[in-house]
Amino acid sequence: VGQGLQQFQPVDFQGEYLNKAKISDGGKKLRKNWTTCWVVLCSNELHFYKEQKQEELAKLKPGGKTDGVDLCDAVIEWTTEKSSRKNVFQITTRSGDEFLLQSDDYATISKWHDAIKRAVGRLSSG
């Protein structure tokens, strides 16, 4: 996972398309809109891209990197109440943004849940 990309930036975890819905922006509730995106975890940030290709392009272009979700002090928890979908977990950022991530494949989503939890744990213990 992430091999061949390390020369650009430390990618901790990537390699799946997940379903994402942002449901709150700074504590303000948003209308839920699920989209499929390519997710990349980079130390303390989570980046969402429409396509894997876009991530590659963004890295080649200085400053082309998208703004990531800051995972510092974020809360990660499984939820069955926020969606009728299965395999959903929520990320609540320090600034009050809330994201749902989902995959029909439990193995896939649980890998992501664990990787993001580990990233948050690393940030708060360091």
Chain residues that interact with ligand I3P, rule: CB under 6 A: 31-32, 34, 83-85
By the 8 A CB rule, do 57 and 85 touch? Answer: no
How far is 125 from 8, CA to CA, in rounded Å? 26
Q: Report which DSSP code applies to 4.
A: T
Residue whose beta carbon is closest to ligand I3P:
83
Pairing between strand 45-49 and 69-70? antiparallel
Of residues 37 and 42, the one with the C-beta less far from ligand I3P: 37
Bridge partners (DSSP) of residue 13 are 41
Nearer to ligand I3P, 44 or 83 (CB): 83
**Which CB, 35 or 66, lies closer to ligand I3P?**
35
CB of 54 to ligand I3P, least distance (A): 24
